Protein backbone atom coordinates (compact mmCIF):
# COMPACT_ATOMS: atom_id res chain seq x y z
CA UNK A 1 0.00 0.00 0.00
CA UNK A 2 1.29 3.47 -0.89
CA UNK A 3 2.44 5.88 1.79
CA UNK A 4 -0.57 7.74 3.19
CA UNK A 5 0.94 11.12 2.26
CA UNK A 6 1.19 10.02 -1.38
CA UNK A 7 -2.41 8.80 -1.35
CA UNK A 8 -3.57 12.13 0.06
CA UNK A 9 -1.71 13.99 -2.68
CA UNK A 10 -2.93 11.71 -5.46
CA UNK A 11 -6.59 11.69 -4.42
CA UNK A 12 -6.63 15.42 -3.70
CA UNK A 13 -5.21 16.14 -7.16
CA UNK A 14 -7.78 13.87 -8.82
CA UNK A 15 -10.75 15.36 -6.96
CA UNK A 16 -9.65 18.95 -7.52
CA UNK A 17 -9.15 18.27 -11.23
CA UNK A 18 -12.60 16.68 -11.52
CA UNK A 19 -14.14 19.72 -9.84
CA UNK A 20 -12.26 22.04 -12.19
CA UNK A 21 -13.30 20.03 -15.28
CA UNK A 22 -16.86 19.41 -14.08
CA UNK A 23 -16.18 15.68 -14.42
CA UNK A 24 -17.84 12.83 -12.55
CA UNK A 25 -16.00 10.99 -9.77
CA UNK A 26 -18.09 7.85 -10.27
CA UNK A 27 -15.78 4.83 -10.14
CA UNK A 28 -12.66 6.99 -10.06
CA UNK A 29 -11.78 6.25 -6.42
CA UNK A 30 -12.75 2.59 -6.10
CA UNK A 31 -9.20 1.45 -6.93
CA UNK A 32 -7.90 3.18 -3.80
CA UNK A 33 -7.41 0.86 -0.83
CA UNK A 34 -7.97 3.62 1.71
CA UNK A 35 -11.45 4.85 2.61
CA UNK A 36 -12.40 7.98 0.65
CA UNK A 37 -15.43 10.19 1.25
CA UNK A 38 -16.84 13.57 0.20
CA UNK A 39 -19.47 15.51 2.19
CA UNK A 40 -21.57 18.63 1.80
CA UNK A 41 -21.66 21.46 4.36
CA UNK A 42 -24.39 19.67 6.34
CA UNK A 43 -22.30 16.51 6.70
CA UNK A 44 -24.27 14.47 4.16
CA UNK A 45 -22.30 11.95 2.15
CA UNK A 46 -22.05 12.83 -1.53
CA UNK A 47 -19.51 10.18 -2.52
CA UNK A 48 -17.88 7.19 -0.82
CA UNK A 49 -15.68 4.50 -2.31
CA UNK A 50 -16.14 0.77 -1.71
CA UNK A 51 -13.46 0.47 1.04
CA UNK A 52 -15.28 3.21 2.99
CA UNK A 53 -18.63 1.45 2.67
CA UNK A 54 -17.18 -1.89 3.81
CA UNK A 55 -15.33 -0.43 6.80
CA UNK A 56 -17.77 2.15 8.12
CA UNK A 57 -21.31 1.49 6.95
CA UNK A 58 -21.53 -2.27 6.40
CA UNK A 59 -24.87 -2.88 4.69
CA UNK A 60 -26.15 0.67 5.23
CA UNK A 61 -26.47 3.05 2.30
CA UNK A 62 -24.34 6.17 2.77
CA UNK A 63 -25.41 8.40 -0.12
CA UNK A 64 -27.29 11.42 1.19
CA UNK A 65 -26.95 10.30 4.82
CA UNK A 66 -25.19 12.15 7.62
CA UNK A 67 -22.27 10.33 9.22
CA UNK A 68 -24.08 10.23 12.57
CA UNK A 69 -26.68 7.85 11.08
CA UNK A 70 -24.20 5.01 10.55
CA UNK A 71 -20.89 5.75 12.30
CA UNK A 72 -20.34 4.54 15.85
CA UNK A 73 -20.61 7.24 18.50
CA UNK A 74 -16.84 7.27 19.05
CA UNK A 75 -16.19 7.99 15.37
CA UNK A 76 -19.15 10.29 14.84
CA UNK A 77 -18.02 12.75 17.52
CA UNK A 78 -14.54 13.29 16.12
CA UNK A 79 -15.94 13.37 12.58
CA UNK A 80 -18.19 16.28 13.55
CA UNK A 81 -15.44 18.08 15.45
CA UNK A 82 -13.02 17.90 12.52
CA UNK A 83 -15.76 18.92 10.05
CA UNK A 84 -16.45 21.97 12.20
CA UNK A 85 -12.78 22.98 12.04
CA UNK A 86 -12.84 22.90 8.24
CA UNK A 87 -16.15 24.73 8.00
CA UNK A 88 -14.74 27.37 10.36
CA UNK A 89 -11.82 28.08 8.04
CA UNK A 90 -9.13 25.40 8.45
CA UNK A 91 -7.75 24.21 5.10
CA UNK A 92 -6.65 20.73 6.21
CA UNK A 93 -6.69 18.53 9.32
CA UNK A 94 -5.01 15.19 10.01
CA UNK A 95 -5.32 13.09 13.14
CA UNK A 96 -5.01 9.56 14.52
CA UNK A 97 -8.00 8.30 16.46
CA UNK A 98 -9.67 5.20 17.91
CA UNK A 99 -13.21 3.96 17.37
CA UNK A 100 -15.46 1.07 16.38
CA UNK A 101 -16.02 0.29 12.69
CA UNK A 102 -19.01 -1.47 11.11
CA UNK A 103 -17.74 -4.94 12.01
CA UNK A 104 -17.75 -3.93 15.67
CA UNK A 105 -13.98 -4.06 15.99
CA UNK A 106 -12.14 -1.33 17.86
CA UNK A 107 -9.43 0.08 15.60
CA UNK A 108 -6.84 2.83 15.35
CA UNK A 109 -7.28 5.05 12.29
CA UNK A 110 -5.50 7.91 10.54
CA UNK A 111 -7.76 10.47 8.86
CA UNK A 112 -6.95 13.41 6.59
CA UNK A 113 -9.53 15.99 5.60
CA UNK A 114 -9.38 19.08 3.44
CA UNK A 115 -11.87 21.77 2.56
CA UNK A 116 -13.40 21.93 -0.91
CA UNK A 117 -15.21 25.19 -0.24
CA UNK A 118 -14.51 28.00 -2.66
CA UNK A 119 -13.42 25.69 -5.48
CA UNK A 120 -16.54 26.14 -7.55
CA UNK A 121 -18.49 22.98 -6.82
CA UNK A 122 -22.10 23.67 -5.76
CA UNK A 123 -22.30 20.97 -3.06
CA UNK A 124 -18.90 19.41 -2.28
CA UNK A 125 -17.46 20.84 0.95
CA UNK A 126 -15.12 18.28 2.54
CA UNK A 127 -12.82 15.60 1.12
CA UNK A 128 -11.66 12.92 3.55
CA UNK A 129 -9.39 9.89 3.53
CA UNK A 130 -9.00 7.32 6.30
CA UNK A 131 -6.48 4.49 6.71
CA UNK A 132 -6.75 1.55 9.10
CA UNK A 133 -3.59 1.50 11.23
CA UNK A 134 -4.30 -1.23 13.77
CA UNK A 135 -7.02 -3.51 15.12
CA UNK A 136 -6.93 -3.15 18.90
CA UNK A 137 -10.15 -4.80 20.11
CA UNK A 138 -12.29 -7.80 19.25
CA UNK A 139 -15.58 -7.55 17.41
CA UNK A 140 -17.70 -8.90 20.29
CA UNK A 141 -16.78 -5.96 22.52
CA UNK A 142 -17.41 -3.54 19.67
CA UNK A 143 -20.79 -5.03 18.81
CA UNK A 144 -21.86 -4.81 22.45
CA UNK A 145 -20.82 -1.15 22.57
CA UNK A 146 -22.83 -0.46 19.41
CA UNK A 147 -25.80 -2.25 20.99
CA UNK A 148 -25.42 -0.09 24.10
CA UNK A 149 -25.52 2.99 21.86
CA UNK A 150 -28.79 1.75 20.33
CA UNK A 151 -30.20 0.96 23.78
CA UNK A 152 -29.45 4.52 24.87
CA UNK A 153 -31.36 5.85 21.85
CA UNK A 154 -34.23 3.41 22.48
CA UNK A 155 -34.45 4.53 26.12
CA UNK A 156 -34.82 8.14 24.99
CA UNK A 157 -38.00 7.36 23.02
CA UNK A 158 -41.29 8.32 24.68
CA UNK A 159 -43.56 5.59 26.08
CA UNK A 160 -45.75 5.34 22.98
CA UNK A 161 -42.82 5.09 20.58
CA UNK A 162 -41.16 2.42 22.72
CA UNK A 163 -44.43 0.43 22.76
CA UNK A 164 -44.76 0.77 18.99
CA UNK A 165 -41.13 -0.30 18.52
CA UNK A 166 -41.76 -3.40 20.65
CA UNK A 167 -44.85 -4.24 18.62
CA UNK A 168 -42.89 -3.87 15.41
CA UNK A 169 -40.11 -5.99 16.88
CA UNK A 170 -42.69 -8.71 17.54
CA UNK A 171 -43.65 -8.56 13.87
CA UNK A 172 -47.20 -7.33 14.53
CA UNK A 173 -49.06 -5.86 11.52
CA UNK A 174 -49.41 -2.07 11.48
CA UNK A 175 -53.19 -2.45 11.80
CA UNK A 176 -52.88 -4.51 14.99
CA UNK A 177 -50.48 -2.02 16.55
CA UNK A 178 -52.85 0.82 15.65
CA UNK A 179 -55.80 -1.02 17.22
CA UNK A 180 -53.81 -1.71 20.39
CA UNK A 181 -53.21 2.02 20.84
CA UNK A 182 -56.55 3.26 19.48
CA UNK A 183 -54.97 5.29 16.69
CA UNK A 184 -55.00 5.11 12.89
CA UNK A 185 -52.61 3.10 10.75
CA UNK A 186 -51.32 6.37 9.32
CA UNK A 187 -50.42 7.54 12.82
CA UNK A 188 -48.46 4.35 13.44
CA UNK A 189 -46.69 4.71 10.10
CA UNK A 190 -45.66 8.26 11.01
CA UNK A 191 -44.40 7.09 14.39
CA UNK A 192 -42.55 4.21 12.73
CA UNK A 193 -40.66 6.60 10.46
CA UNK A 194 -39.78 8.79 13.42
CA UNK A 195 -38.62 5.76 15.44
CA UNK A 196 -36.37 4.51 12.63
CA UNK A 197 -34.81 7.95 12.34
CA UNK A 198 -34.30 8.23 16.11
CA UNK A 199 -32.70 4.78 16.28
CA UNK A 200 -30.58 5.46 13.17
CA UNK A 201 -32.03 2.47 11.31
CA UNK A 202 -32.92 2.05 7.64
CA UNK A 203 -35.96 -0.23 7.74
CA UNK A 204 -38.51 -2.09 9.85
CA UNK A 205 -36.45 -5.26 9.32
CA UNK A 206 -33.47 -3.53 10.94
CA UNK A 207 -35.70 -2.65 13.91
CA UNK A 208 -36.83 -6.27 14.31
CA UNK A 209 -33.18 -7.40 14.26
CA UNK A 210 -32.26 -4.75 16.82
CA UNK A 211 -35.06 -5.77 19.21
CA UNK A 212 -33.96 -9.40 18.96
CA UNK A 213 -30.32 -8.51 19.66
CA UNK A 214 -31.25 -6.31 22.63
CA UNK A 215 -33.36 -9.11 24.10
CA UNK A 216 -30.65 -11.72 23.51
CA UNK A 217 -28.12 -9.51 25.30
CA UNK A 218 -30.28 -8.93 28.35
CA UNK A 219 -31.46 -5.36 27.74
CA UNK A 220 -35.09 -6.39 28.22
CA UNK A 221 -37.79 -8.97 27.47
CA UNK A 222 -39.67 -7.67 24.44
CA UNK A 223 -41.48 -10.87 23.55
CA UNK A 224 -39.57 -11.29 20.30
CATH code 3.30.450.20 region(s) in the chain? 4-138
- Choose which CATH entry (3.40.50.720, 1.10.10.10, 1.10.40.60, 3.40.50.1220) describes domain 157-216: 1.10.10.10
What's the confidence (pLDDT) of residue 94?
Answer: 97
Per-residue pLDDT for 203 more than 80? yes
What's the confidence (pLDDT) of residue 109?
Answer: 95
Nearest Cα residue to 34 out of 109, 94, 91, 99: 109
As a whole number, mean pLDDT of residues 218-222 equals 74
Q: What burial letters (b/e) apply to 134-169, b meaning 16+ CB within 10 Å?
A: eeeeeeeebbebbbebbbebbeebeeebbebbbbbb
**pTM (two decimals):** 0.63
Per-residue pLDDT for 191 more than 60? yes
What is the second-level CATH architecture of the domain 4-138? 2-Layer Sandwich (3.30)
CATH code 1.10.10.10 region(s) in the chain? 157-216
Amino acid sequence: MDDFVHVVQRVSTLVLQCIKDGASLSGRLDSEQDSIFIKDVDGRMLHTNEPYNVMFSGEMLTMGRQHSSFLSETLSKIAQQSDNMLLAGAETVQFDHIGHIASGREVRLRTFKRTLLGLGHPTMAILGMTRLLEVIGDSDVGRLQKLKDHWRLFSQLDDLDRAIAVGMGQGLPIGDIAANHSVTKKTIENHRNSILKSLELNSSIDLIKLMVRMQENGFGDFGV
